Amino acid sequence: MFNWIEEAKKLNIDLSAEQIEQFDRYEALILEWNHHKINLTAVTDPIEIRRRHFLDSLTCMAVLGSPEQPMKRLIDVGTGGGFPGLPLKIVYPSWPITLVDSVTKKTNFLQLVVDELGLSDVTVVSDRAETIGQKKSYRERFDWAVARSVAEMRILAEYLLPLVRVGGRVLAQKGENAPQEIEGAYKAISLLGGEMKNVREVQLAGHVYKHHLVVLDKVATTPAKYPRQPGKPRKRPLG
């Protein structure tokens, strides 16, 4: 039987008893809300929640580094049910983390999870990426901006790079098509002040297809006109 705790250990992630308890409570809340209140995820099997949401989110640690390193500010855009941001908060408890989603019902759920799990320094924001990217309180304030399954790379670069300080990084969790997306996104990434850092392949236990962790460096200030108005990045991707 699939044991996600043992699979995490294979990725050099050793969860404490308190962290495992937090993940158990988080899973219970996902199942409860998914059944009674809002469709947080199409994944409803507990084993697949652990594999495709918890374990997949924690693969980000391969590029984020050790939880013992100095505090980093991280923002998760289009977080949905909290992925990868909330699992990362559990394993990086000292990091201030901001969770962003445009659907209020989802952000209400996220705030409940934060309260139920006793997590501190978590900000939940109900807004669009294009809007917060133009706000002084968020623009170029973060060490890391992350996203999973939100948009293709040209669009995602416009969502995330404006939020990261020069010297910070973007982490995009992508699927099998990552190399092709990256190939078409170089111009957009450069225009927004970014530069390709690296791509790391990830193979989850029980999954045939490989995932990719795409890392961008923020090397220059993003021009003030980006991100553009809500909806424009998707309608007219840069590049």
**Residue 42: predicted pLDDT:** 72
Rounded Cα distance, 7 and 14, in Å:
10
**Residue 208: predicted pLDDT:** 62
- Same domain flag for 37 and 152: no
- Same domain flag for 153 and 227: yes
User: What range defines the domain where residue 27 resides?
Assistant: 1-124
131 or 205, higher pLDDT = 131
- Same domain flag for 82 and 137: no
Report how many domains make up the chain: 2
- Same domain flag for 2 and 120: yes
| Residue-wise pLDDT tens digits, 33-66 | 887 777 777 777 888 889 889 999 999 999 999 9
- Same domain flag for 210 and 223: yes
**Residue 87: predicted pLDDT:** 98
Point out the domain boundary residue: 103, 124, 145: 124
**Residue 198: predicted pLDDT:** 94
Identity of the residue numbered 159: Y
Query: How high does pLDDT run on average in the chain?
Result: 93
- 8: domain CATH number? 3.40.50.150
Number of neighbouring beta carbons within 10 Å of residue 196? 15
Q: Which run of H or E residues covers position 110? A: helix 104-117
User: Above 90 in pLDDT, residue 99?
Assistant: yes
**Residue 96: predicted pLDDT:** 98
| Residue-wise pLDDT tens digits, 155-211 | 999 999 999 999 999 999 998 889 999 999 999 999 999 999 999 998 877 766 788
